[in-house]
Amino acid sequence: MLKSRLNITLMRLLLGIASLLVLPHIGTLNPLFIVISLALIAWSAFVHFFNRFSPSTWVLLPLSLLLAFLVLKLHGMSLGREASSSFLLVLLGLKLLECRRQRDVLAVIFVSFFVLITPFLFEQTIALALYGLCLFFLLLCALVVNASSSTAIRPAVVAGFATQIGLLAIPLMLIGFLLFPRMIGPLWAMPKDASNAVSGISDSINPGQISHLALSNETAFRVRFNDASPAFNELYWRGPVFWQTDGQQWTVSLNATRRETANDLSPVNTLYRYSLVLEAHHQRWLYSLDTPIASPDQVRLTQDNQLLLKDKLRRTRSFDLLSNTQAAPEILTDKDRLRALALPQNTDQRVYQLAARWQVDADSDIAVINKGLAHFNQEDFYYTLTPPRLGVDPVADFLFSTKRGFCGHYATSFAVVLRAANIPTRLVAGYQGGVYNPVGEFWEVRQADAHVWVEAWLAGRGWVRFDPTAAIAPNRIQHSIDFNNQRLGGEVRFLIEPSEGFSNWALQFTSLLQAIDYYWESGFLAYGPEVQRDFLSSLGIDGWEQMVLWLAVLSGGLILMVTLFLYRLGVRKVDPSQAAYLAFCKKLGRRFTYKKPAETSLHYFTRIAALKPDLALALQQIRQQYLLSRYAKTDVRKLLALIRSFRF
């Protein structure tokens, strides 16, 4: 019963597509729902191929309600992207199970289209996009098979239709993609789960914090300099600035005031213009080459040189920035001086003693700082990704007992000691270095490049950057961390020497892949409201009204063009012999008398023969040949030759 009604090939196709739709969700969604949806698909395969265990409505209805409740229950009764993806997967399985008529098949296909875009809410890689395109193609095939309602339609024919339609749809899709007005911000409150598990620098820093990032090869952002790049050891990518500490951790202050005056005293030869494609990191700050001196639209440049967005960055965006590595000094207000010297009450006395030791014989702040850096270099300090656990007072523990740590340890403890030595200090988090991609000519900065350093206020010089990590592990500042050779607990390795042979090739190949990925991200994924506005206004399209207008005009024009093309195709071709005959009649008409619309060739030629009796024979021949080629389908060329040889 069931088999006869639904095309078995179509069912096979739909079940295959459904399984392929579940696959990309493995690892992102709750495994329970992956298992449930695969089980539902397997069940419906059983029903359709063996015609057994077909569920009745009395089973399906409670099952659907139960599963819907389960989805909501396990996702805190809110419909975020994980909940809705799970929900759609379960719905797909249930719909397959009750697939009995053509209408149900369409419903399954429609749900599949929706499910198709859900993996992209979690990641938007090129590989996943290609996978999605393949599935999209298969879904178009399923639509065609379903609509043909014929088992005679061959797979090649189906694929042909799907390909043609898919390819023709691309120009129209591009128009929509480019011109559909993008809105800033979500339509409703952003479900919280969208910011889950984003690695990167957070809004508070404790000594051990950065080390977990060193093992992450994820891209933080990519930078393309308009002109030459600065030297590697100048590549400090400035992020949030930390002023406050409670002894355990440092917290960021994002309500800093806007910087009033532009920094016009900076030298011009250290000015860098660049565009930076920042991955969604769900924080408000941007990263920029130290020190940013101008802010793009809707970004605030603060007094302490942070670039702050109004809202958290929830999607990859591209920014055009301007920095100067030798920025002019700023002013330090008394209030800020107090903030930059504040230490928690319970600071260990040994910290003050250490500060005092550094101050002995030092006639200036810079001498104290240099002594401090020398202390880190000469004492028994080690740079490691797996430092021992620290106690209640991490600074004292690190400085006086463990002495093993990562940039976070060095920067935080250095800052604390400097404050104890009465030098205004703040902590800056960000990234250092990056990997240059020669193929795409851009710098790729990965999470592994995350870094923390110290800025100290020196009278007359302003805020100056000091990096205690450089004193311990100079290689860290000269080279990027070699992620591929990084081992937890092993030595920290850096990308120092270019590898040779196969490894070199592999490196080049990786560069190529990363370059492709860069263009994918900067050109495609970063196409949001701001990029769209800039891009379209460079074409003279301003504002959403004009976007909608152009969207309508271009897509309408495209559709009209195809329609006209079809119309031209649809015009019936005149039989060639008839065309030749009619052209001949027109010629005769100009010379003698026109053919009446209802007149046959016999009548007309007789009329002409009466006027010009010497033409009668030739006309008779032409008439015969015309009738032959028109109705007996003989070669039309004979007729054409006769007409050509006709002399008036």
Residues forming the site for other proteins (CB under 8 A): 81, 84, 102-103, 106-107, 110-111, 113-114, 116-117, 120-121, 124, 128-129, 132, 136, 140, 143-144, 146-150, 152-153, 157, 161, 164-166, 168-173, 176-177, 180, 182-183, 186-188, 190, 194, 314-315, 524-525, 527-528, 559, 562-563, 566-567, 570, 572
Q: How many CB atoms lie within 10 A of CB 403?
A: 17
**Shortest distance, CB of residue 86 to other proteins, whole angstroms?**
14
For other proteins, give the closer residue by CB, 298 or 504: 298
For other proteins, give the closer residue by CB, 155 or 490: 155
**C-alpha to C-alpha distance for 629 and 365, rounded to whole angstroms:** 108
**Shortest distance, CB of residue 473 to other proteins, whole angstroms?**
39
Q: At 173, list the tokens.
A: 């899709």
With b meaning 16 or more CB within 10 Å and e meaning fewer, what string describes 423-459? Answer: bbbbbbbbbbbbbbbeebebbbbbbbbbbbbbbbbbe
Angle at 124 between CA 120 and CA 126, to 5 degrees: 125
For other proteins, give the closer residue by CB, 21 or 205: 21
Helices (H), 239-364: 334-339, 349-359
**Shortest distance, CB of residue 137 to other proteins, whole angstroms?**
10
For other proteins, give the closer residue by CB, 46 or 114: 114
**Shortest distance, CB of residue 488 to other proteins, whole angstroms?**
34
Comparing C-alpha atoms, which of 264, 246, 165, 156 is closest to residue 207? Answer: 246
Q: At 529, list the tokens.
A: 């409201």
- What 3-state DSSP class applies to 204? strand
- What 3-state DSSP class applies to 186? coil
**Shortest distance, CB of residue 138 to other proteins, whole angstroms?**
13
**Shortest distance, CB of residue 156 to other proteins, whole angstroms?**
11
- Amino acid identity, residue 626? Y
For other proteins, give the closer residue by CB, 69 or 524: 524
Q: At 624, list the tokens.
A: 């015969």
**Shortest distance, CB of residue 579 to other proteins, whole angstroms?**
18
Q: Are 253 and 203 in contact (CB under 8 A)?
A: no
* CA within 13 Å, CB half, 236: 26
For other proteins, give the closer residue by CB, 175 or 639: 175
**Shortest distance, CB of residue 94 to other proteins, whole angstroms?**
17
Tell me, rounded to whole angstroms, the distance of Cα 388 from its chain centroid.
38
66 contact partners, CB below 8 Å, separation of at least 6 = none
* CA within 13 Å, CB half, 554: 17
**Shortest distance, CB of residue 174 to other proteins, whole angstroms?**
8
For other proteins, give the closer residue by CB, 422 or 563: 563
- What 3-state DSSP class applies to 446? strand
Tell me, rounded to whole angstroms, the distance of Cα 283 from its chain centroid.
18
For other proteins, give the closer residue by CB, 315 or 350: 315
For other proteins, give the closer residue by CB, 135 or 355: 135
Question: In this structure, is the dihedral angle defined by the CA atoms of residues 375, 380, 385 and 386, taken in order, positive or negative?
Answer: negative
Instruction: Kindly state the helix (H) or strand (E) to which residue 557 belongs, with its residue range.
Output: helix 543-570
For other proteins, give the closer residue by CB, 20 or 190: 190
For other proteins, give the closer residue by CB, 80 or 230: 80
**Shortest distance, CB of residue 598 to other proteins, whole angstroms?**
16
Q: At 341, list the tokens.
A: 């010297």
For the chain, how far is it from start to end, CA to CA, in angstroms? 77
**Shortest distance, CB of residue 521 to other proteins, whole angstroms?**
10
Comparing C-alpha atoms, which of 329, 319, 309 is closest to residue 273? Answer: 319
